[in-house]
């Protein structure tokens, strides 16, 4: 299965100071600036990052006017998960803080249904190949067609 199931990614401008370090980060529209940012708990997710956000000529992440490609919700997408979460086939997955999915319901909005074979995510975030900063969650498969819209 190709990432995004053949859907073309969309491009958007990120809110100032937002940086996306890799694919699978949950995104929400910032209604004030009409830009995207990573989700907070209780947000309604509109898409999932398709890769890292733009960089400048020195290969540093842009922090003003940066852009990111993302997949709108609607099919099976690989999304980053918060740490120490357990997912079983068919369980609900929720939008969490820092652009990460979670298994915790609370007042979090539904992102979709877990469609993997079952897994427990690690107890620590991961680094990307381009950084030693531990910011990235493990990728999990989620059918996002049933995401909350209100």
Q: How far apart are CA 80 and CA 111, in angstroms?
A: 12
pLDDT of residue 128: 63
| Unique residue bearing structure tokens 């989700």 | 39
Q: Are 115 and 105 in contact (CB under 8 A)?
A: no
Residue 57 included in any domain: yes
Does residue 1 register a pLDDT over 80?
Answer: no
Residue 94 included in any domain: yes
| Residue 33 phi, psi dihedral angles, 5° rounding | -105, 0
Residue 100 included in any domain: yes
With H, G, I as helix, E, B as strand and everything else as coil, classify residue 110.
Answer: strand
What DSSP letter does each residue of 27-68 carry, written as one string?
EEEETTTTEEEE--TT----EEESSPPPB-TTSPBP-SS-EE
Residue 4 included in any domain: no
Q: Are 40 and 103 in contact (CB under 8 A)?
A: no
pLDDT of residue 63: 93
Residue 121 included in any domain: yes
Radius of gyration of the chain (CA): 14
Residue 3 included in any domain: no
Q: What is the mean pLDDT of the chain?
A: 89
Does residue 25 register a pLDDT over 70?
Answer: yes
Residue 5 included in any domain: no
pLDDT in tens, 27-63: 999 989 999 999 999 999 999 999 999 999 999 999 9
Domain count, the chain: 1
pLDDT in tens, 141-150: 999 998 888 7
Segments forming the whole domain that contains residue 101: 10-146
Q: Which CATH number belongs to the domain containing residue 39 in this structure?
A: 2.40.300
Residue 116 included in any domain: yes
């Amino acid at each position: 299965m190709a990432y995004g199931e053949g859907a073309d990614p969309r491009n958007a401008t990120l809110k100032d100071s937002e940086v996306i370090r890799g694919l699978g980060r949950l995104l929400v529209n910032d209604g004030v600036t009409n830009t995207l940012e990573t989700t907070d708990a209780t947000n309604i997710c509109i898409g999932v990052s398709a890769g890292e956000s733009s960089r400048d000529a020195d290969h540093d992440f842009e922090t003003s006017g940066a852009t990111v490609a993302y997949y709108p919700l609607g099919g099976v997408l690989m999304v980053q998960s918060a740490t120490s979460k357990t997912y079983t086939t068919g369980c609900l997955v929720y939008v969490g803080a820092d652009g990460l999915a979670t298994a915790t319901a609370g007042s979090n909005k539904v992102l979709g249904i877990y469609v993997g074979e079952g897994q427990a995510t690690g107890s620590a975030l991961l680094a990307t190949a381009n950084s030693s900063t531990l910011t990235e969650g493990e990728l999990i498969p989620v059918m996002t067609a049933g995401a909350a819209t209100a």
